[in-house]
Amino acid sequence: MVLVFNIPKKVVAVVIQETRLPSSFHQQLLWGSDELELLGHLCNYHITPKIIRWKLYFKGVMWCPGWVPFRGEALARSRSGVVGQTVKDFITKLHNSGYIREDEAREWLHK
């Protein structure tokens, strides 16, 4: 992959050359979905890349089907960090809505 930019104002050209890596390899680096168990409930999370002011960010969304009507969300520069921030946001919303006690929330927030 080759990217050519005229920094700082205009993009002169963006040239993406074909690589020998499979397309699933690129998707695994940027996008991701998985499941995790949270307080006995099976929950899902999804990570997507996002470009903001020419910088790469990752948006995380977490939800638990059949348990609560809201989602945890976070935006971070790190792909690995966004998962933890998304879980923390979800736990905070669970506690604030009365679904879990403070000691249960504290246990998850300090992991």
**Is 17 inside a domain boundary?**
no
Structural domain total, the chain: 1
Cα 68 from Cα 64, distance rounded (Å): 6
**Is 49 inside a domain boundary?**
yes
Q: Tell me: the pLDDT tens digits for 60-94?
A: 999 999 889 999 999 999 888 888 899 899 999 99
Cis peptide upstream of residue 69 (ω within 30 degrees of 0): no
pTM above 0.85, yes or no: no
**Is 39 inside a domain boundary?**
yes
Cα 97 from Cα 100, distance rounded (Å): 8
**Is 16 inside a domain boundary?**
no
- Say if residue 11's pLDDT is above 90: no
pLDDT of residue 44: 92
pLDDT of residue 39: 83
Domain housing 39: 29-109
- Say if residue 35's pLDDT is above 70: yes
**Is 103 inside a domain boundary?**
yes
Torsion angle of C-alpha atoms 71, 77, 80, 84, degrees rounded to 10: -40
Q: Tell me: the pLDDT tens digits for 44-61?
A: 999 999 999 999 999 999
Give me the CATH number covering residue 101: 3.30.160.320
**Is 19 inside a domain boundary?**
no
Q: Tell me: the pLDDT tens digits for 15-28?
A: 333 334 444 444 45
pLDDT of residue 29: 66
**Is 42 inside a domain boundary?**
yes
